[in-house]
Every structure is written in structure tokens, then in C-alpha cells.
Amino acid sequence: MSSVKVPFLDLKAHHDPIRQEVMVAMNAVIDENAFAGGKFVTKFEEEYAKYCEAKYCVGVANGTDSLWFSLLAMGVGQGDEVITIPMTFLATAEAITYAGAKPVFVDINPQTFTIDVTKIEAAITPRTKAIMPVHLFGQCADMDPIMEIARKHKLFVIEDAAQAQGSKYKGRLAGSIGHAGSFSFYPGKNLGAWGEAGAITTNDAALREGMQMYREHGQKKKYYHDVVGWNGRMDGIQAAVLSVKLKYLDKANNGRRRVAARYNGLLAGLPGVALPTEAAYAHHIYHVYAVRVANRDVILKQMGERGVSCGIHYPVPVHLQNAYANLGHKRGDFPISESCADSYLSLPMFPELTDQQIETVATEFKACLAQSKS
């Protein structure tokens, strides 16, 4: 057993090198008293739109709001259906529900863990209003066929890019391909705030106006409310933090790719283990490095006992959550998602992982595999 302890995530290592730069940015917000929306949010919106190669960015309070306001701006509501995957964080489906619509699930591709594009059309009904592909773990869904299906059936496409800041599809950045791209800047994300924050990217001026209205209590002009909206503004302090961190995002993503490549080399060929794959179309940014392994729960426990913190993303697919029991799904409805949920093990993944830490993870993982078979 190694004496080296490896955390699942180390935000201190991530933030210490830029701490003073971030504090200067936060002090500028304090000096201006621009705490809710305002000039620092506008600045970040412009920077992030440019980064994503999109025309517009709308800063919001969190990633869930970014999904919800996108749906509302597209007119999705009561009686509508939105196609997505069950292998995702619950927020994907929550936003659909809170827009008044019904989530309709399609299983995932077993190699990419993103939506199986061959199964989308079979899920379309006269009530379908949008498709919400999830760029799970930092790899884009196969967007060209999704956009073609959407054009054919006159549907909106919202990229759930909560885990995909800087991920690319055939050279195009996540959030620039669909009608809207939804991002979370939860602290653990590849681009993480120092609190809660989110954003929406779009190339459509009318959608941008709607999203801005829904985040501001339905106002275009103060105290004049055209629709029932919500308080979903981005904080000025979070925007300032994100403006600093955005400058280092590509470097951080490259660090994650370095870690993934090292894991791939050290763990290649292990019997009974499926490593994550990078699609030919993709530039994967490895928000999560999830392997698939039998006896997952046993190995998770053993890894923790050996000083290596791992995670599970996600142990229960959305269609089997109690919150969505009303949809009437049962085990077996989406077998690939269910199989993945039973076997995913997320290894430590952050840009600052050292070679020694990576090698420790691999060594202890191999030891746990051997132990579980003995």
C-alpha cells in the first residue's frame, strides 16, 4: 500500500497559483459594488462567447438555470417533450420538468457515453420540441446527425455542456453547434467559479433576448414584466473569478488530457476493465475519467482504504430515480445506461495530478483488481 494519498479533486492546488490574481479581480467588484449582474458579468459574457466561438453568452446563477432558461426561451412548456439521456446528473431532467415538459429518454452509446444518435428518431412524437444531448464527462455528443435530425423534424437542440468547457466536436467548440449551449461553472468543473454560476451560449439574437428576460424576472425594462421569469442573475464576483480562470482553461484542459493519456498507458489491457475512449470526432477534456469495472463498489471501498479517493458518476440513472417514478420506467428499459451505472468508477482527475500520484492510482487500482479476484 502506497504512502502517497491521492484526492479525487484538489481545488487548492488548482487555485493557489492564481489566488492573488483572483483576489485583485474580486476586490475590483467590491470597489464598484457591482454584485448582481453588471459590468463584470457583461465582460465575462463577452469573453466566454468569444472563447466558445458563439455570438452571445448569457450569464446566469447556475447550470440548472442555464438549461431551464434555454428551454423557456424556446417556448418549451406544458405538454411538450424533450429528448435526452438517462445517464446524466438529475439537473438535465429537472430543467425539462420545471419548464413544464416531459423528459423522454434515449440510451447512450457504450463507447462515448453520449446519446445514441441511431435511437433518437424512434423517440420523436408530435409533442417533441427539443433534443438535449449531454456532453458527458467532457466529450461532445455526435452533433452532426443530431442537428440533421433536428432540422428534419423542426426541433431545437440544447447542448448540455455542463461538463464540456473547451471540449470540441470536429474542431467546433461545445456550445457553438446547437441552438443553445448550457454550461455549469460549479467549483469542480473544468472552468469553475468560487461558488455557483452558469451560462448559456447561442448564435440566435431572439433566444438571447428571451434568456436575458427569464433570468431577470421576465423584464426587458426594469419593473415592466413581459413574462413570469425568475431571479437567475450571475453574481459579479463569480464573473470576475471566471474571467481570470478562463485565461487558464486551455492549459488546465491540456493537463487533464495529459493525465488521461498517462492513465490510458498504465491501465491498457487490464482484463475486465473498460477505459474511456475518445471518439474520432472529439477533443475530450476529461471532466471525469470513468473506467468500467466489475465489483465496482468493492473496488471503490478498497481504493479508499488504500488512500486513493474515487467517485461514481452516476450510480442511479435518472429513469430509475424515485423523483421520476411517475414516468413508469423499469430496470431494463435503458440497459446500457444501467450497465454503466453499475460499473462506472471515476478515478482522480484534475490538471495538477503529478506523475507519482497517477502511478499510485494505477498501482493501487491493479492491486484492488487482483484482490477482488482472489
DSSP states of 181-235: EEEE--TTSSS--SS--EEEEES-HHHHHHHHHHHBTTEEETTEESS---B-BPB
For 64-119, how does the pLDDT look when each residue is reduced to its tens digit (9 = 90+)?
A: 999 999 999 999 999 999 999 999 999 999 999 999 999 999 999 999 999 999 99
Nearest to 282 by CA among 141, 146, 114, 178: 141
For 249-373, CATH gives 3.90.1150.10
Residue 297 scores a pLDDT above 70: yes
- Predicted confidence band at 356 (pLDDT cuts at 50, 70, 90)? very high
- Predicted confidence band at 6 (pLDDT cuts at 50, 70, 90)? very high
For 115-140, how does the pLDDT look when each residue is reduced to its tens digit (9 = 90+)?
A: 999 999 999 999 999 999 999 999 99
Total count of residues recorded for the chain: 374
Instruction: Enumerate the CATH 3.40.640.10 domain ranges in the chain, comma separated.
Output: 13-106+114-246
For 186-241, how does the pLDDT look when each residue is reduced to its tens digit (9 = 90+)?
A: 999 999 999 999 999 999 999 999 999 999 999 999 999 999 999 999 999 999 99
- Give the list of residues 6+ apart from residue 373 with CB closer than 8 angstroms, or none: none
Residue 2 scores a pLDDT above 80: no
Q: Can you tell me the mean pLDDT for 171-199?
A: 98
Q: Say what percent of the chain tops pLDDT 70.
A: 99
Peptide bond into 48 cis (omega under 30): no
Q: Say what percent of the chain tops pLDDT 90.
A: 98
| Continuous H helices in 216-289 | 236-246, 249-267
DSSP code, position 53? T
For 48-73, how does the pLDDT look when each residue is reduced to its tens digit (9 = 90+)?
A: 999 999 999 999 999 999 999 999 99
Q: Are 132 and 156 in contact (CB under 8 A)?
A: no
Q: Is 266 exposed, middle or buried (0-12, 13-18, 19+ CB in 10 A)?
A: middle
pLDDT at 57: 98
Helices (H) and strands (E) in the chain, counts: 13, 15
Residue 3 scores a pLDDT above 80: no
| Residue 270: half-sphere exposure toward Cβ, Cα within 13 Å | 24
Residue 12 scores a pLDDT above 90: yes
- Which residues on adjacent β-strands are paired with residue 344? 292
pLDDT at 1: 66
- Predicted confidence band at 373 (pLDDT cuts at 50, 70, 90)? confident
Tell me the C-alpha distance between 145 and 214, whole Å. 30
Which one is the CATH code of 13-106+114-246: 3.40.50.150, 1.10.10.10, 3.40.50.300, 3.40.640.10?
A: 3.40.640.10
Tell me the C-alpha distance between 159 and 177, whole Å. 8
Nearest to 190 by CA among 48, 95, 73, 296: 48
Residue 275 scores a pLDDT above 90: yes
Answer whether 0.95 is exceeded by the pTM: yes
